[in-house]
Chain A
């Protein structure tokens, strides 16, 4: 019996020839990413237990992103604790404000994520990095502390679930719509504990950036990771960013899957996930007349340059509807620079959008676009739970950058194809 890409990577990192779903393994970790919310507690734990050491400062990448630039005194203290720890241990891969971005955007663009690697971070959206054929998963602060200390972590080998994306994407439909449709079909725990492996002609056609949007939201279906077998496009992407050696693993043709789901992408339409679960997907055209107060375009899900281009394409020469706030948050410094160079900020500013410095910001209800009670936001982010972006009496609707931008112009949830 063959193995899946996830099984192969976990086997190789735990010194075994083969692993099976359900087995517990202790695997070596290649890259540990740290941010400003979940890492300071890890550091405190290690210090309190007399374990304040790092297994390899070269393998630790620290990207404060959630509450920086510091949103208040307490978050300033968190960022300070993180910074002091970084300096104490000589961690060189540290991204101070002005060099930083949303960690899941920075990590691949600076070449830390390579095929075949095991990547962990104290953040649930770490599954994003599986788009490059790495095994990447989110962990809590104690796990993070354990990896920082030892370079290893326990894993239960997940079962794999295969998603075959057939057909071709119609105009106005994007990778965000694919993943919202998948989560609508299987539910927010449809892939609980499982590795979601995405394959098929549509995956091959998608850019690497667009693939990140899909693997990013694997956690929204309960997945342990989202993963894509690396193709030439992925290999070219990483070779442009890193000179380091790596091993490419791909699933065997006789690998075992607990479930195989086929999606005909040719039939997909722009999707909107209604409050308060990412699985509450509807077609944008069937949304009804839903007035919004805010539009948020950014995050680790959809804050990359292609996303900004798609939004700019719709907003060019138009204005955001009266009384609507449209907040655009490029996900990293490189993306910000690129958007500036391409003139996207001019388009956004002319349309009356606010452009922010990179941050996780309002995606998780941090700052830079918090919602008041009774307000509605259409957002390119990943979660629409109660209170996610502010008041527990506000509402978040998840959509693609195209749908969000089109809605900004009309002030109502709008199918972007009306403006294409």
Chain B
């Protein structure tokens, strides 16, 4: 996959910032998407383009278990999140939705907003086409790809 980077240098971007609780009275992805990252970056929805890749510091998605966080950023056109590390529940939620997440330590030091990124999820290679730097990461386990291929966890367990 290819996409433009949208960088948040910070760590511990929590799910209250990704989608504030005041919007949790809906689970409609399009409606949630209007408020993605609102309390952290009021212009995020305006500035993020379709296919953009969020690049962030450690512990992305900490806090509440709300899967609305995955839906909000996916709804806003984000195709993948690359972070030093992820909080556990957000990571699970992403996998269960077949939404790509990549753990790549120190990545925010080598990517700027607007850089063109190319990611091979299976091989575990991230290329910053804008500065020519390559990074290797541990690919997700095979079962996560199976979930994604099925279209999500529920589709993969449906009898």
CB of B58 within 8 A of CB of A189, answer yes
Interface string of B32-62 (1 = CB under 8 A from A): 0000001110000000000000000011001
Checking A41, A75, A141, A146 against B157 with a beta-carbon cut-off of 8 angstroms, the contacting residue is A146
Q: How far is the CA of A77 from the CA of B27 in the complex (A)?
A: 11
CB of B152 within 8 A of CB of A387, answer no
CB of A51 within 8 A of CB of B67, answer no
CB of B40 within 8 A of CB of A146, answer no
Confirm or deny: B1 has a beta carbon within 8 angstroms of a beta carbon on chain A: no
Tell me the number of A-to-B contacts counted with CB atoms below 8 Å: 126
Checking A24, A78, A365 against B143 with a beta-carbon cut-off of 8 angstroms, the contacting residue is A24
Confirm or deny: A116 has a beta carbon within 8 angstroms of a beta carbon on chain B: no
Q: How far is the CA of A189 from the CA of B85 in the complex (A)?
A: 9
Complex interface: chain B residues within 8 A of A77 (CB) = 25
Checking B38, B87, B157 against A149 with a beta-carbon cut-off of 8 angstroms, the contacting residue is B157
Q: Considering residues A45, A149, A189, which has the most beta carbons from chain B within 10 angstroms of its beta carbon?
A: A189
Confirm or deny: A88 has a beta carbon within 8 angstroms of a beta carbon on chain B: no
Checking B12, B93, B158 against A189 with a beta-carbon cut-off of 8 angstroms, the contacting residue is B12
Q: How far is the CA of A51 from the CA of B151 in the complex (A)?
A: 15
Given A41-B67, A124-B63, A189-B58, answer yes or no on A146-B25 (Cβ-Cβ < 8 Å).
Answer: no
Checking B20, B65, B87, B96 against A365 with a beta-carbon cut-off of 8 angstroms, the contacting residue is B20
Q: How far is the CA of A192 from the CA of B152 in the complex (A)?
A: 24
Complex interface: chain B residues within 8 A of A71 (CB) = 25
| Contact residues of B: prevailing secondary structure | loop
Interface string of A182-198 (1 = CB under 8 A from B): 00000011001100000
Confirm or deny: B153 has a beta carbon within 8 angstroms of a beta carbon on chain A: yes
CB of B96 within 8 A of CB of A24, answer no
CB of B154 within 8 A of CB of A139, answer no
CB of A140 within 8 A of CB of B59, answer no
CB of A387 within 8 A of CB of B12, answer no
CB of A24 within 8 A of CB of B141, answer yes
Interface string of A387-413 (1 = CB under 8 A from B): 110001000000000000000000000
CB of B58 within 8 A of CB of A139, answer no
- Of chain A, the residue at the smallest CB distance from B97 is A142
Closest A-B pairs by Cβ, 10 of them: A74-B25, A140-B67, A140-B93, A142-B96, A189-B59, A392-B39, A41-B27, A387-B39, A124-B65, A141-B67
Residues of A within 8 A of B (CB): 24, 37-38, 40-41, 44-46, 49-51, 66-67, 71-72, 74-75, 77-78, 122-124, 138-143, 145-146, 149-150, 154, 188-189, 192-193, 219, 222, 224, 277, 364-366, 383, 385-388, 392
21 A-B pairs in the complex with CB atoms less than 8 angstroms apart:
A38-B65, A38-B67, A41-B68, A67-B25, A71-B25, A74-B25, A78-B25, A138-B65, A140-B70, A141-B27, A142-B93, A146-B157, A150-B157, A192-B87, A222-B62, A222-B88, A277-B12, A364-B16, A364-B21, A364-B64, A388-B21
